[in-house]
Chains A and B, each alone.
Chain A
Amino acid sequence: METRILQFAKALRAGGIPVSQAETLDAMQAMLSIGISEKQQFRRSLRATLIKNAPDLELFDELFPIFFEGVDGAPPDMQNIMEGMSDEEAQALAQALRQLKADLAEALKRLLRGDKLTPEQLQRLASMAGLNRTRHFRYKDRMVQRMLKALQHDAVRDAMREISQLLSQLGFSKARLQELREMLQENMDAESDFLEQFAGQRITENMEAKPPAPEVDEVMDQPFGYLNEEEMDVLRQEVRRLSAKLRTRISLRQKREKSGQLDLKATLRQNLRYGAVPFKLSYRRKQKRPKLVVICDISTSMRYCSELMLSLVFAMQDQISKTNAFAFNDHLEFITPDFESRSSKEAVEKVLIRMPPGHYSTDLGGSLREFQRDYFDQIDHRTTLLMVGDARNNYRDPGLDIFKTMAQRSRHTIWLNPEPPMLWGSGDSDMQVYLPFCRHVFQVQTMAELAAAVDEWLTA
């Protein structure tokens, strides 16, 4: 059982859940005190010790049956229905089957006989459905559906109905037919259960055999435009770590800062060793958490940059007093609600469905106008206005007057642009005209640059 738990922990890790040695030990201890006779209790005790993030519970629930329900959870064997038939019945059935297309008749016969799929057949099915390349449980149902389709389950069910008429003419009683149909259905259910388990196992194997994730450091310096989906996943993980790091740095800096009100108690305490002569002064932290208005370009070219930016901002909510996030391509939308209680990847996907990117449709000027009309009160003297985009406006009106008032009203205006400065102002880029109103402009082409920029403006 111990080895099984270790394997299970390994599979969880392969699925991207950070399970530490200590937690695996906890799981074993839990197993000792709860026992494994009650499967549900055992499952809950593993869940409480191994999984520490609510979104990870889903993967746990997928993997658990694969690892711990092998014996009694195995789908029932298929029955050989043909065996129980009399000779007349078998003959009648053979006659009826001749009415069907050859491959369909074969599929029906196979299910009636209750033949198990051979390993070669399974392998063929798996590669045909694309199961060998699948590394995520989210695709499991789809894979099972494809395999069932290849095995013609639906068609077989229809065919059975089709030949029922004929069979009853050939001497099958109504009750007997009904019985036959039910037994066939049982066989089909058993097979689909079996396939489901098979798919789960195969996906787990694939997850474990996953090539090592790309090196974080390399990916950090990879320009956003060249990232593939896997590297993007690495960065998504990295955002968590990065935000924790930035958070501590920022709060440390704020603590050591000599500003704000004198903290009398802390000063007394600190100077007690000097006979309460106030040598070293302590200050209360000044409330400096900025309010944030983020306006992000989510056109195809800017998508990754914006997603990482937003996930970083939302991971650092405790350093920011309030975040209002907006996304634009050809129009503007308020997207903060999408980020609450959802991972940033899902949130961005959801936003992208709502406002699909089209070619040459970016309209920053128009979006600024919408912002002015609907959300202008979101900007006040405590707000940091953060623009993320390449400022490519398709030669439309840049809405400069609006941007100017927005910049004047806010505390800081910061622009993150993935393009290098030499391209600003070239073609349809309006960066040069926005530039004078921004306090900082960062060229942010990689995650490393993004982190540096966030670090700088949060403490600025």
Chain B
Amino acid sequence: MRETISFTSPSHVKTALAAETYICSDEIATVGFLASQLEKPLLIEGPAGVGKTELAKAVAAATGRTLIRLQCYEGLDETKALYEWAYAKQLLYTQLLRDKLQEVLGETTSLKQAADQIAAEEDVFFSMRFLMQRPLLQAILHPEPVVLLIDEIDRADAEFEAFLLEILSDFQVSVPELGTLEARERPLVFLTSNNTRELSEALKRRCLYLFLDYPSMEQELAVVSLRVPDLDKGLSRELVELVQGLRHLDLQKRPSISETLDWAHSLLALNAKRLDTQTLESTLGVLLKHERDLAKIRKQIVPQTSTEKDDDDYDIPEEWKL
């Protein structure tokens, strides 16, 4: 059994997460501390790739808890999220145990007796053995305290959200055949949302709320130097400045922190010393994922740096010029 710890103060959260290479702002630290103190689920919203999922992972690692993750998608229902009976296994067991069943029923004389005998053995077939535990039930039944991450809740249907309400407020589930199962230790619950749709007021009311935005210059720089320590400091600064600038532009998809890191890694791999036009040209695809964005940025970056190439104009035949 691993040693689990609980947070004692917001600054404790900060140092513990920093040890897991997650740089967090005071805001995150305070809210994270509150979530563990009040035992309330934490709803994290914000643009894609600002580290919402990472936060849950880091908290799990920092507290020594197991992370149980439920990825939401359209059409997710209870059987995928909570539990399901293993029908095939039940049927198989019935077949294999047929002889044994005969034995049990062998001594009975009336139909009623036989039914009673079978009923007495019912528990064998509706026991934990045949219950397939899905993430939510796993989180509830886990002997140690866990971190439950419900990822991209906005992708799930509205009914599923309503179903979650019960679990999030009481951390108990009733399985008709088994009775009510209750959590031994309340899990720390993180919900993330990319805000593709409005979540219900009821769900929001039960959660603490954290809006994660793109990090400030200093924070992002700290993240880069922590995660990609081998990258030249001057280059990191240049890179982060550029990314921060890009976020202010009207792009289809703004570069996220994870993309900054990817870019830093690729610059490191290319052994780049500074951000010249050529390096930019060849690696910009790591940062921008839309053709239109790429074209737009190329157009903005290249003219700035190509002033010295003006003499290229002379290669164009006179008659082609406008």
CB distance from A279 to the nearest CB of B (A): 16
Docked pose: A20 CA to B79 CA in angstroms: 32
Which residues of chain A are within 8 angstroms of B85 by Cβ–Cβ distance? 269, 272
Chain A residues 8 to 48 lying within 8 A of chain B, measured CB to CB, are 18, 20, 22-23, 26, 29-30, 33-34, 40-41, 44-45, 47-48
Contact mask for chain A residues 315-332; partner B; CB cutoff 8 A; 1 contact, 0 none: 101100000000000000
A445 part of interface (Cβ distance < 8 Å): no
B18 part of interface (Cβ distance < 8 Å): no
Partner of A26, one of B38, B74, B75, B79: B38
Chain A residues 268 to 313 lying within 8 A of chain B, measured CB to CB, are 268-269, 272, 276, 285
Docked pose: A247 CA to B75 CA in angstroms: 14
Which residues of chain A are within 8 angstroms of B188 by Cβ–Cβ distance? none
Which residues of chain A are within 8 angstroms of B27 by Cβ–Cβ distance? 44
Contact A317:B197 (CB < 8 A) given known A33-B34, A44-B30, A269-B85? yes
A177 part of interface (Cβ distance < 8 Å): no
Partner of B45, one of A54, A240, A244: A54
A51 part of interface (Cβ distance < 8 Å): yes
Partner of B198, one of A34, A40, A276, A315: A315
Docked pose: A341 CA to B198 CA in angstroms: 11
Contact A44:B158 (CB < 8 A) given known A18-B201, A52-B43? no
Docked pose: A178 CA to B196 CA in angstroms: 57
Q: Is the CB of B158 within 8 A of A244?
A: yes
Residue of A nearest to B199 (CB): A52
Which residues of chain A are within 8 angstroms of B204 by Cβ–Cβ distance? 52-53
Q: Is the CB of B33 within 8 A of A34?
A: yes
Contact mask for chain A residues 95-136; partner B; CB cutoff 8 A; 1 contact, 0 none: 000000000000000000000000000000000000000000
Contact mask for chain B residues 204-238; partner A; CB cutoff 8 A; 1 contact, 0 none: 11111111000000000000000000000000000
Contact A49:B197 (CB < 8 A) given known A247-B158, A251-B158, A285-B75? no
Docked pose: A318 CA to B156 CA in angstroms: 9
Partner of A40, one of B26, B75, B157: B26
Contact mask for chain B residues 25-49; partner A; CB cutoff 8 A; 1 contact, 0 none: 0110011011001101011011000
Q: Is the CB of A23 within 8 A of B196?
A: no
Which residues of chain B are within 8 angstroms of A165 by Cβ–Cβ distance? none
Which residues of chain A are within 8 angstroms of B87 by Cβ–Cβ distance? 265, 268-269, 272
Docked pose: A276 CA to B27 CA in angstroms: 54
Which residues of chain B are within 8 angstroms of A318 by Cβ–Cβ distance? 74, 154, 157-158, 196-197
Chain B residues 174 to 214 lying within 8 A of chain A, measured CB to CB, are 195-198, 200-201, 204-211
Docked pose: A265 CA to B84 CA in angstroms: 10
B10 part of interface (Cβ distance < 8 Å): yes
Docked pose: A53 CA to B211 CA in angstroms: 8
CB distance from B94 to the nearest CB of A (A): 10
A168 part of interface (Cβ distance < 8 Å): no
Q: How large is the interface on A (under 10, 10 to 19, 20 to 34, 35 or more residues)?
A: 35 or more
A454 part of interface (Cβ distance < 8 Å): no
Q: How large is the interface on B (under 10, 10 to 19, 20 to 34, 35 or more residues)?
A: 35 or more
Q: Is the CB of B211 within 8 A of A54?
A: yes
Which residues of chain A are within 8 angstroms of B116 by Cβ–Cβ distance? none
B159 part of interface (Cβ distance < 8 Å): yes
Which residues of chain A are within 8 angstroms of B207 by Cβ–Cβ distance? 52
Partner of B34, one of A45, A51, A276: A45
A6 part of interface (Cβ distance < 8 Å): no
Which residues of chain B are within 8 angstroms of A272 by Cβ–Cβ distance? 85, 87
A243 part of interface (Cβ distance < 8 Å): yes
Which residues of chain B are within 8 angstroms of A44 by Cβ–Cβ distance? 26-27, 30-31
A453 part of interface (Cβ distance < 8 Å): no
Q: Is the CB of B10 within 8 A of A34?
A: yes
Which residues of chain B are within 8 angstroms of A180 by Cβ–Cβ distance? none
Contact A240:B33 (CB < 8 A) given known A251-B158, A265-B79? no
Q: Is the CB of B79 within 8 A of A33?
A: no
Contact mask for chain B residues 72-85; partner A; CB cutoff 8 A; 1 contact, 0 none: 00110001000011
Docked pose: A51 CA to B34 CA in angstroms: 14
Q: Is the CB of B211 within 8 A of A30?
A: no
A405 part of interface (Cβ distance < 8 Å): no
A248 part of interface (Cβ distance < 8 Å): yes
Which residues of chain A are within 8 angstroms of B37 by Cβ–Cβ distance? 30, 33
Contact A251:B26 (CB < 8 A) given known A18-B201, A33-B34, A272-B85? no
A57 part of interface (Cβ distance < 8 Å): yes
Partner of A45, one of B30, B45, B74, B205: B30
Partner of A51, one of B40, B198, B209: B209
Which residues of chain A are within 8 angstroms of B206 by Cβ–Cβ distance? 22
Which residues of chain B are within 8 angstroms of A20 by Cβ–Cβ distance? 205
CB distance from A33 to the nearest CB of B (A): 4
Q: Is the CB of B30 within 8 A of A26?
A: no
Which residues of chain B are within 8 angstroms of A247 by Cβ–Cβ distance? 158
CB distance from B242 to the nearest CB of A (A): 23
Docked pose: A136 CA to B129 CA in angstroms: 61
Which residues of chain B are within 8 angstroms of A276 by Cβ–Cβ distance? 91
Docked pose: A152 CA to B181 CA in angstroms: 71
Docked pose: A57 CA to B209 CA in angstroms: 11
Partner of B31, one of A48, A57, A240: A48
CB distance from A351 to the nearest CB of B (A): 15
Q: Is the CB of A248 within 8 A of B158?
A: yes
Docked pose: A44 CA to B30 CA in angstroms: 7
Docked pose: A276 CA to B90 CA in angstroms: 12
CB distance from A322 to the nearest CB of B (A): 12
Which residues of chain B are within 8 angstroms of A30 by Cβ–Cβ distance? 34, 37-38
Q: Is the CB of A48 within 8 A of B208?
A: yes
Docked pose: A247 CA to B43 CA in angstroms: 22
Contact A48:B210 (CB < 8 A) given known A33-B38, A41-B26, A272-B85? yes
A-B contact pairs, 6 of them (CB 8 A): A26-B40, A44-B30, A48-B210, A52-B201, A244-B158, A248-B158
- For the complex of A and B, list the 6 residue pairs with the smallest distance between their C-beta atoms, beginning with the closest: A52-B204, A44-B30, A48-B31, A33-B37, A318-B197, A52-B209
* Chain A interfacial positions (CB closer than 8 Å to B): 18, 20, 22-23, 26, 29-30, 33-34, 40-41, 44-45, 47-49, 51-54, 57, 240, 243-244, 247-248, 251-252, 265-266, 268-269, 272, 276, 285, 315, 317-318, 341
8 further A-B contacts with Cβ under 8 Å, apart from A48-B210, A285-B75, are A18-B201, A30-B38, A44-B30, A48-B34, A244-B200, A251-B158, A265-B87, A272-B85
